[in-house]
Structure formats: C-alpha cells, structure tokens
Amino acid sequence: MSIAIQIAYLISSILFVLGIKMLNKTKSARQGNRLSALGMFIAILATLVQIQVISFVEIFACIVVGAAIGLYYANKVEMTKMPEMVALFNGFGGLASFSVALSDYFLRTNVNLESIELVTVISIIVSVFIGGVTFTGSIIAFLKLNGNISGSPITFKGQHPLNLALFLSFLTAATFTVIDQTDPVLIIVLIVISLVLGVLTVIPIGGADMPVVISLLNSYSGMAACATGFILNNNVLIVAGSLVGASGIILTQIMCKAMNRSLVNVLLGGFGQTVSSAGEDGPSITVKEIGVEETAMLFDSVSSVIVVPGYGMAVAQAQHVIRELMEQCEKRNIDFKFAIHPVAGRMPGHMNVLLAEANISYDKLIEMESINDEFPNTDLVLIVGANDVVNPAARNNPQSPIYGMPILNADKARTVIVSKRSMGKGYAGVENELFGYPNCLMLFGDAKQTITKVVSEMKEM
C-alpha cells in the first residue's frame, strides 16, 4: 500500500508541474487547471486511505461544510471584491499550516510524550512562523482592501527596530524550543510573535502596493505548506507547497520590478511608504473636458485604439460595455487593443480576470513591455479608471514618490481620453500630470454609464 501511495503522490506532483507549465499560455490554461485539479484529487484520495485516527463520516462532514461555504461565497462575491477574497484565501492557507503544526506539536509532546526529531521540530517552528505571519498579514491586507482600515501606510517611530527585535526574540525562543521541546510557554511565545509580526509587516504598506503584497503572501502560504509537509512526512504537500512558494516569489519579483521596488524593501516592511515634501502636488492642472457625443465622433474617426484599464473599471463594472465598444470599433475596422500594466488593480492579473469575464480574447491583452512602443503610433487611447500607472511624473519628476516606476506610455498617443469620476488622485496620492497635457481630454462620470452612452451614439452613426 505504501508504494502505491507514493506512486499516487508522484503522479500528483507531475500533474501539478504540468498544470503550472500549461498556465503559461492562454490556449492551454484551462487544460492546465484541469490537470492540476486532477492531481489534487489523486493526492486527496491517496491521503484519505491512510487515515486511521478519525472516521470517514467526520471527514465527509468537513468536506460538505467547507464546500457549502465555498459555493456560497463563490456565488455572492463580486469580481470587484476578488482581491479581498484572494487575500483571505492566502490567510486561511497560512492558518491551516499554522494549525497543523501546532496540533502535531501538542500531540507529540503532551499526548504521546515522545521526543520530536530535529528536522520535525524545526519544520514545526518554521510552519508556525510563516503560517502565523501569513494569516495575520493577509487579514490586514483584506481589511485594507475592503476599506475597514485605512489603505494608507500606518507607521510609527521605531517600527523597524521593533520588527527586528521581535524577529530576534522569535529566533531565541525557537532555539530554546529545540532544546526543551516540552515547555508550552516557548511555543506560546512563538505563536504570539509570529501573529504580531504579520500585523506589523503589512500595516505600513499602502493600498496601491497590494498586488505585490498579495503575491508575496501567496508565496508565504506555499512555504508554510511545504514546511507542514515535512512535519507530516507528506511528499506531495512538500512539492505542492514548494511550487506555490517558488511561483509566488517569482511573481513578487515581477511585481516589484513593475513598481520599481526591491524585494528586500518588501520583506523588511515599510513597503509603499512615501515621504511628502513641500510642493509635492506641483502647479494646479488645467484640464479639457469632452462630452459623450464628441467622444463617439473621435472613436468613429480613428484607425487605432488602445484601452488602459485600471481599478476604476472594476469598481464601475465597465468591462462588459467596453467589450461592446470594442465590437463597434472592430465593425469599423479599427485596430483595438488593451494595454495591461502588471500592477493595475488590486491583485496580480486583476484586469486580465475582469476582461476575460467579459469574453474579451486574451490575444487583445498586451503586456506593458510589448505595447509601450505602439503608443506613439496610436490614434486614440482610452484610460478607464487607471491613474498612477499612466502618470508621466514617474518618468519626468525626480521629486515624485512614484519616480522611476515603469508606466504605460499613454501620454505619447495622438489623443488620450480619460474616463474618470472626478479629479481624485490615485492610491499613491500624486497628481497625474497627464490630465493637463494638451492631447488629454477628460470624460467625467461613471465609466459604465458614460461608455454605454458612447456606444449608443456610435450605433446611431
């Protein structure tokens, strides 16, 4: 039976790797998801046949309860709330690893009264640390994204020294835990420090930087699962956790590059802080407004269009009407594309998910590096709810908090239309220079409503 189980785990691991590989391309992404799901199903079955402590009735009851909760929120949660859900998922992944590590520790030391092997006790400590940080850090990220606490960085004097002191205290307590495995006070100290560090690491991070934080916390949840695999001596959990951890770190590095941040800056906390200075807002900007009819006439007269989506599109739920706009343009043989900034929205791939929901082909979604050279030759750029990722201050103003961040070169197009509710600033709190450019026109109002009117005007032409 043991050999059969290990073979099943090996097959599951292979399916996980193949599934992730197939996610690389749009055409094979769904098949990759199915392969990964099949691998997980095989791994669960192989695990169930080994269980002796609890009954299948108890297991089935847990599956039913969990599935019911999952189905409820899958149907209730809107696409605009998906970043918050992803943050919660990361948190519960960390909590699961955290709980398994603690239960295994207390089972071995208080019930079985046995000594724990060095590798296992170190794995327990690592799982408690990463799992605890992931759980509370993800909860803070969720609360920031959901608006329950301020999305601005929350800082106080001596924050970094306090984080360092807590981390050194954790290492000290961890060392004593390895020496004296039966002292419950030590493990409680580890629990408290890990949970507190999760909060202190994420509260200094601003809402605009949440895509990086979410991908990093996703990586943490994978690493915690990997450590739990060593605790349980479960090979497939080690492999799955390693895959999630590694892919999360790679994605975090991509996000950091897109935000012009360093990974060390993220890991040390304080990520996303900016120092305000006098005159930061610069001179007042004079904007030119455009109406719905004029916008429709512009779309009718151009030969190329690039849409730059942002979080405002998600809030307005404008992706479906943008698809209608695309269809009207394509009827006129207008080249129509979408420019996707890596950190647009509130989680990695946020804009891709929303546009895919509107049945917009992935071939139309072009990454920043591939499309930036096309802007100077583009007749019209429509910016829907994006702000900081198109702000020329990132290129031109060394005093700007976002200076050096790679941006979409929307300002270089012949004409730019910005669909926006008001002149409010983006999450970075910086005035957008683009709004005052001579080739920029402001289409004020709810994006869904105004673009719907534009589409209606185009249909009557």
Nearest Cα to Cα of residue 383 among 313, 461, 283, 433 = 313
Residue type, 330: E
Q: How far apart are the C-alpha atoms of 308 and 296, rounded to whole Å?
A: 17
Q: Helix, strand or coil for residue 137?
A: helix
Question: What tokens were used for 111?
Answer: 């019930």
List residues bridging with 442 in a β-sheet. Answer: 289, 418
Q: How far apart are the C-alpha atoms of 117 and 124, rounded to whole Å?
A: 11
153: alpha, beta or left? (left if phi > 0; alpha if psi -120 to 50): beta
Do 425 and 431 contact (CB within 8 A), yes or no? yes
Residue type, 352: N
The residue written with tokens 């030391």 in the block is: 109
Residue type, 159: Q
The question of whether 180 is a catalytic residue gets the answer no
Set 104, 209, 388, 411: catalytic member: 388
Q: How far apart are the C-alpha atoms of 232 and 170, rounded to whole Å?
A: 23
Pairing verdict, β 304-309 and 335-340: parallel
Do 236 and 9 contact (CB within 8 A), yes or no? yes
Nearest Cα to Cα of residue 377 among 427, 302, 444 = 302
Distance between first and last Cα of the chain = 72
Q: How far apart are the C-alpha atoms of 451 and 456, rounded to whole Å?
A: 9
Do 129 and 257 contact (CB within 8 A), yes or no? no
Q: How far apart are the C-alpha atoms of 166 and 83, rounded to whole Å?
A: 29
282: alpha, beta or left? (left if phi > 0; alpha if psi -120 to 50): left
The residue written with tokens 């891709």 in the block is: 352
User: In what order do the strands lie in the sheet containing 415-420?
Assistant: 365-367, 335-340, 304-309, 380-384, 415-420, 440-444
User: CA 219: distance to chain centroid?
Assistant: 11
> Which residues 6+ apart lie within 8 Å of 292 measured at CB?
443, 450, 453, 454, 457
Do 129 and 138 contact (CB within 8 A), yes or no? no
Active site residues: 388
